[in-house]
Amino acid sequence: MTSKSKKKNKAVYLPTEGKILSINKPAGWTSFDVVNKIRRITGIRKVGHAGTLDPFATGVLLVCLGPATKKVSQLMNLPKEYVADIALGTETDTLDITGKVVKREEPPEISEKDILAVIPEFTGVIEQEIPSFSAAKHRGRRLYKLARSGKEVPQLFKTVEIMEIELLSVEPGAFTIRVVCGKGTYIRALARDMAKRLHTVGYVQRLVRTRVGEYRIEHSLTPAEIETMVESTNSL
């Protein structure tokens, strides 16, 4: 970044109460990649996000600037909506498309009726087994660090709330669902558990967070669009 662009970034206008940006996170970016990008674009150092999205996932990531970072905890408690494509017959160690295949089998023929029959079992307040590749901690260490180092990962569970699961489509060996859930829900774990209930294995091929509270993906901007806005107006 040139010294000229740094000077321009420091001039970005920020309201007294700070700013909440609804970012459409690109695939391949970590949530912290987005935070760091917004810092570089704006020159504002006090930046935080309200709810991690896995790198492979896309969609709504709320980024708070300045005094608005005080609202992070409040925003994290908002309900979230996701659309997930779930592939059957294959399981990966990460339970998503980025992982190493650990199991493969011929999935049974599964109908819309079969999936609709198991959905009620996963709605309401339920227990989820936390994925091995997750940021959850055990004795001070992140589970994904244990998994990556080849060490045994303890079986840990957490209580989550899933308010709604809607079946959007079914095709041979895959289906798509829309999920509305509370804080801390693992969609990857939901895919694993639904597949198991359907007598097979599965993983998430695609995951899009479409809404956080009233912040919707159709009103969210990509980091590139935020950068263009700042360069042209010096404001957000």
Q: Report the C-alpha gap between 28 and 205 in whole angstroms.
A: 14
Which of 33, 54, 93, 96 is labelled catalytic? 54
193 is catalytic: no
Which tokens is 94 given?
A: 């990460």
Which residue shows structure tokens 């899009």?
208
- As annotated, the active-site residues are 54
